[in-house]
Structure 1
Amino acid sequence: MTTHDVPRSTLRTADLVPTGSLGLRSRKMRALLSGLGIAIGIASIVSVLGVTRSSQSALLAQLDQLGTNLLTVANGTSGQGAEQILPTTATSMIRELPHVQSVAPTAKLASVNVYRNDHIAAGRTGGRSVRAADAALLGTLDGSLLAGRFISNDDSPVTVLGYSAATTLGITDVSGNDRVWVGGHWYNVVGILKPFTLAPEIDQAAIVSFQSAEHLLGYNGHPSRIYVRSDTEYTAGVAGLLGSAANPEDPSRVAVSRPSDALTAQLQVKQSGAGLILGLGAIALLVGAIGIANVMVIAVLERRTEIGLRRALGATRGHVAAQFLTESLILATLGGIAGIAIGAGVTLGMSVYRGWTTLIPPEALYGGLLVSIAAGAIAGLYPALRAAHLPPTDALRTA
């Protein structure tokens, strides 16, 4: 028989998975621990991308709902954080500006507090304040009532409580029969507001009308904070004119802000935080790949006899290398699939808890799987080549 008549050793593609998974099936705990590093890295990447995308979507939806065209005008604050008064002409001057949709002046009554009853010791305010306003406030802030009605432009001793103020005071009845003690006078509670994302100071306030504040609480006619709703495309231009309109004598003292900028800043913080955690996920993935490489090197040393026997029976170096490389790929792929499942589960749980819409970028799913496969290929390359170049006589001699 000539050398051409000797049958060539072959390894079918269909045999790669059973052959490559032999070591994993015989050492299940080692395989589980080895794949855990890949799973943790992929889970970190998928969950960070998913949670970030879901939270960003919620913030963007909130921005769309609340609008970015709300501006606030104030005259700075004192050293104690109290709002300073604006000129009495500020509101009317701002209303004359072009592209202004609505204006809602308010005045924080610095020396007036709200209590549950007249037996509460002075100073125990719980962080609550009293703020004079008019009926335009609700529409300008695009807010709504949780219960009851809003104040009218008259001197009736009634109040509408912000959400936090109502909660701390323990007020739920808005029929007008429940009262609070405001600046030495009883005020009937006629409404409770829903939370204001863009105006948290309203949440802590008891809102009374300007007429009532002037008649009973010593209000002097000066606003301290004005809310302005502008045409969206002209918001920046309107903001540039508010200082001189509110206080022509000293525009530099006027502080103009856009409350929606806080939500935009949250988006930027989430993006920067996501980048940091993605870096940690990449480190975990690297550690997992190193763990697989280490396990595969040990497997080559432990299975020298098997390698030598296969080579002696006709297996080529390529067959041996393919077996160990397949084992590494299977291990990394299973770890990647587990990581994707864990990451998706974390994203879903966080979204349900926060009330977000669950959004997982498709690239996080297929990208995570591709990255895990690539990590497995890189991790298994050296052990596979080492196994392939192991001389069969030396391998059998160590048996």
Structure 2
Amino acid sequence: MAVLQPARLSGSDLLRLGGSGLRARPLRAVLSALGIAIGIAAMVAVVGISTSSAASLDRALAALGTNMLTVAPGDTMFGEEATLPDDALPMIKRIGPVTSATATGVVNDTSVYRTDQVPKGETGGLSVLAAQLDLLGTVGAEIASGSWLNAATGRYPVVVLGDAAARRLGAVPSVYIGGRWYPVAGVLRQVPLAPELDNAVLIGWDAAKSYLGFDGHATTIYTRSVESQVEAVQAVLAPTANPESPDEVQVSNPSDALAARRAASTTFTALLLGLGAVALLVGGIGVANTMVISVLERRAEIGLRRSLGATRGQIRTQFVAESLLLSLFGGAGGVLAGFVVTLIYAITQGWPTVVPLWAVAGGIGATLVIGAVAGLYPAIRAARLAPTEALAAA
């Protein structure tokens, strides 16, 4: 006599069975999905708002020059002022983690005047600095008016004024330096990372050599490095700039803002993990509660299906599929709601809107795990009901 084998449920069959339970009680399904949606939305919103806030803080700290170091000549063993070698800047640029490096050089014995009628002693404390053309990008400087030096003007007697220098000299089309008039090409805004530039008149490196007798030695080298390698770069800057006499090189210490930036990142990570776990726990309890009640109310359906030949495995699979669908709908709605909340809040605060991809994928993935775990016990309970017991209880 042939033994009958129970039919296997296909994926489409599982979707229909799981969806039928939700369609039969749409209000309860919506309210249950809303519960998990709120939990996931809270998690995504917390992650998004915290990440957006961290991005804003990160941008503010970056403006403080967390990855900028400066190199300057120190003193010789005899107490005299040292000089950096001519190849100090090219050598520093070869350091792997260094992303950019530039330099300025003091033009000695040179004064700046508004007109040629000003007495020589009244210099106003302004200095003349030879500048590399890539200075602005490295130190984070901006042009307030006019333009910066370029490959052409950097070779001719043209200058750019620092913010404080422009205020002291006034709105002049040219300045008087060393017996020659120098047209003013532009004016810088204040440079928080390099305040010495505010009181300077900047001229191209080649022009300083040609017209002002500049010796070509850099007096300040500005470097930007990969943030995680700032300390390592600091350790090799002096021997790289002056291999023969590294003790004659002064290197600045990493900014305190770098430590603050890393501490803030650690704090935000701990906050996200704690609040996200609580939100997921709340959502899981809601789904489990809904599925337990669903099993109690649908004992007649379970008994009828068992009497018609449905196996315990098929009953378990049906309720687990229903739990997964419920969680998936709630999770998708929660992710969308969390993104919208993050977007609105970030816009009102003037922050960049940042919702990490892992938060979106993690929210959906977490809802599926929650749905499987929360629906497992009710599914097992439903599968254990005997057909006669289920029909009698109904």
TM > 0.5 fold call: yes
Name the counterpart of 1:280.
275
Q: Distance in 2 between matches of 1:59 and 1:24?
A: 49
1:226-375 matches, within 5 Å, as: 227-229=220-222, 235-238=234-237, 256-259=252-255, 262=257, 266=261, 269-342=264-337, 350=346, 360-361=356-357, 364-375=359-370
3-state SS of paired residue (2:145): strand
- CA drift of 1:379 comes to 1.2
Contact 2:40–2:335 (CA<8 Å) still a contact in 1? yes
Contact 2:71–2:220 (CA<8 Å) still a contact in 1? yes
Tell which deviates more after alignment, 7-16 or 297-306.
7-16
- Residues 67-105 of structure 1: CA deviation (Å, up to 9, x unaligned): 956327799xxxxxxxxxx9xx99953545972563467
Q: Distance in 2 between matches of 1:300 and 1:91?
A: 89
- CA drift of 1:234 comes to 6.5
1:138-177 matches, within 5 Å, as: 140=135, 141=139, 143-148=141-146, 160-161=162-163, 175-176=171-172
Contact 1:70–1:229 (CA<8 Å) still a contact in 2? yes
Query: Given the superposition, is the C-alpha separation of residues 263 and 382 from structure 1 closer, same or farther in structure 2, using an over 3 Å criterion?
Result: same
2:103 pairs with 1:102 = yes
Contact 1:175–1:190 (CA<8 Å) still a contact in 2? no
Q: Distance in 2 between matches of 1:257 and 1:23?
A: 65
Query: Given the superposition, is the C-alpha separation of residues 392 and 230 from structure 1 closer, same or farther in structure 2, using an over 3 Å criterion?
Result: closer
Name the counterpart of 2:36.
35
* Pairing partner for 1:18 from 16, 23, 30: 16
Q: Distance in 1 between matches of 2:385 and 2:73?
A: 79
Query: Given the superposition, is the C-alpha separation of residues 267 and 302 from structure 1 closer, same or farther in structure 2, using an over 3 Å criterion?
Result: same
Gaps of 5+ in 1: 76-85, 106-129, 151-157, 178-188, 211-225
The AA in structure 1 aligned to 2:253 is: S
Contact 1:336–1:372 (CA<8 Å) still a contact in 2? yes
- CA drift of 1:383 comes to 0.7
- CA drift of 1:396 comes to 2.8
- CA drift of 1:372 comes to 2.3
Q: Percent identity?
A: 32
Q: Distance in 2 between matches of 1:359 and 1:91?
A: 56
- Residues 271-292 of structure 1: CA deviation (Å, up to 9, x unaligned): 5413431332133112212221
Name the counterpart of 1:218.
none
- Residues 172-230 of structure 1: CA deviation (Å, up to 9, x unaligned): xx8459xxxxxxxxxxx99653464644x57xx963669xxxxxxxxxxxxxxx85326
Contact 1:37–1:289 (CA<8 Å) still a contact in 2? no
The AA in structure 1 aligned to 2:70 is: L
Contact 1:304–1:395 (CA<8 Å) still a contact in 2? yes
Q: How many pairs does the alignment contain?
A: 310
3-state SS of paired residue (2:82): helix
Query: Given the superposition, is the C-alpha separation of residues 369 and 359 from structure 1 closer, same or farther in structure 2, using an over 3 Å criterion?
Result: closer
Contact 2:44–2:359 (CA<8 Å) still a contact in 1? no
- Residues 247-296 of structure 1: CA deviation (Å, up to 9, x unaligned): 98xx9xx883245x735752563254134313321331122122211211
Q: Distance in 2 between matches of 1:246 and 1:132?
A: 30
Q: Distance in 1 between matches of 2:48 and 2:341?
A: 6
Gaps of 5+ in 2: 90-101, 107-123, 149-159, 174-183, 203-218, 226-231
1:128-147 matches, within 5 Å, as: 133-136=127-130, 140=135, 141=139, 143-147=141-145
Q: Distance in 2 between matches of 1:95 and 1:74?
A: 6
Q: Distance in 2 between matches of 1:40 and 1:8?
A: 41
- CA drift of 1:321 comes to 1.5
Name the counterpart of 1:180.
none
* Pairing partner for 1:93 from 46, 71, 82: 82
Q: Distance in 1 between matches of 2:281 and 2:295?
A: 21
Query: Given the superposition, is the C-alpha separation of residues 359 and 4 from structure 1 closer, same or farther in structure 2, using an over 3 Å criterion?
Result: closer
- CA drift of 1:365 comes to 4.7
Name the counterpart of 2:151.
none
